[in-house]
Amino acid sequence: MHEASLAGGILKLVEDAAQREGFRRVTVLRMEAGRLAGVEVRALQFALESLAPGTCLQDARFEFDEPIGRAWCLNCSQTVDIAQRGDPCSLCGSYQLQATGGTELRVLDMLVDD
């Protein structure tokens, strides 16, 4: 499960920010995990909750935005929504798609407490 590794990286990012900015704890951590990012959001949340005790994320609420996948169709030259990698173009049925959105995994913002 690579979500545990991702959670460790997120924790490091937040702890580095806490040290740099001088806050003690995070009350809300809001992230974006696009549907084409290859991340199971529930597993990532579980991993974050497992790592949180004793850190600045202890008792934090984790919120996830999950933007839909977007892709450019090389066949019909249109941008289309896709639910997952491997889906065909909804306009022409081609499988020649290049993902253009929904691939992101990032921390959007956090609410902190001194």
CATH numbers and ranges of domains, the chain? 3-113 (3.30.2320.80)
pLDDT for res 108: 97
How many Å apart are CA 24 and CA 16, to the nearest integer?
11
What is the amino acid identity at position 49?
E
Tell me the torsion sign for CA atoms 45, 50, 7, 86.
negative
pLDDT for res 63: 98
Tens place of pLDDT per residue across the chain (114 aa): 599 999 999 999 999 999 999 999 999 999 999 999 999 999 999 999 999 999 999 999 999 999 999 999 999 999 999 999 999 999 999 999 999 999 999 999 999 998
pLDDT for res 114: 84
pLDDT for res 1: 56
Residue 4 tokens read as: 């545990």
Q: Give 14's DSSP letter.
A: H
